[in-house]
């Protein structure tokens, strides 16, 4: 009688351990599978839509496939700018200077010099810009994208002034 009670006790502990290990393994597998699924690709307003082949109406029919070239919209060719026409078309005001974006994540281009102003675009890291003016409180800078007339406001301190002979890749001369 004592031996059967001891065996029941040991069997109970063993079953409890098996249940705990099995539950932990099932939870771990569930969490790994949930985190391994990549999120949906975000769709932005300036993305070109992709054309998908429609599913066949009848079980035996195959979908009508179109050539890949027909699905991808062709960009309009842009004229190549000569070095003397790479400057923006508007004349620069006094005090304007060339600069580069030094913030590694790029900058948000805003319509006005305030945090809640409309976003009108963005500027990538190390992109060449022209700082046109600064706000009175020196918190914002009005910039112009190099080679275009697009202007907007960015937070000050995220650009770095460069000299006119700066090379194109943003590295310092040796």
The Cα–Cα gap between 135 and 165 comes to 27
Question: Comparing 18-27, 86-95, 111-120, which segment has the lowest mean pLDDT?
Answer: 86-95
The Cα–Cα gap between 122 and 128 comes to 13
18, 23, 126, 166, 172 from 9: Cα distances, Å? 14, 21, 70, 80, 75
Query: What are the E-state strand segments in 5-118?
Result: 97-101, 107-110
Is 110 exposed, middle or buried (CB count within 10 Å of its CB: 0-12, 13-18, 19+)?
buried
Q: Is the pLDDT of residue 85 over 50?
A: no
DSSP notation for 35-61: HHSPPPPP--TTSPPPPPPPPPSSTTP
* Phi, psi torsion values for 143, nearest 5 degrees: -125, 160
Per-residue pLDDT, 60? 54
Q: pLDDT tens, 20-58?
A: 999 999 999 999 888 887 777 777 777 766 544 445 555
Per-residue pLDDT, 162? 87
Q: pLDDT tens, 121-150?
A: 888 888 899 999 888 888 999 999 888 888
Residue 171 has a CB neighbour count (10 Å cut-off) of 9
Could you tell me the pTM of the whole model? Answer: 0.44
Fold of the 88-161 domain: SH3 type barrels. (2.30.30)
Pick from 165, 121, 119: nearest CA to 144: 121
């Amino acid at each position: 009688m004592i031996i059967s009670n001891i065996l029941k006790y040991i069997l109970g502990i063993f079953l409890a351990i098996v249940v705990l290990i099995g539950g932990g393994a099932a939870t771990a597998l569930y969490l790994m599978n949930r985190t391994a699924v990549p999120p949906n690709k975000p769709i932005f307003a300036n993305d070109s839509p992709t054309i998908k082949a429609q599913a066949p109406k009848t079980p035996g029919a195959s979908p009508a496939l179109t050539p890949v070239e027909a699905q991808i919209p062709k960009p309009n060719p842009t004229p190549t700018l000569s070095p003397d026409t790479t400057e923006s078309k508007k004349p620069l005001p006094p005090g304007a200077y060339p600069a580069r974006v030094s913030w590694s994540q790029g900058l948000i281009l805003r319509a006005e010099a305030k945090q809640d102003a409309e976003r009108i675009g963005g500027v990538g890291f190390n992109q060449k810009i022209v700082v046109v003016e600064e706000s009175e409180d020196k918190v914002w800078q009005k910039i112009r994208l190099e080679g275009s007339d697009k202007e907007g406001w960015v937070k000050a301190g995220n650009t770095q002034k460069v000299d006119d002979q700066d090379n194109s890749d943003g590295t310092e001369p040796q």
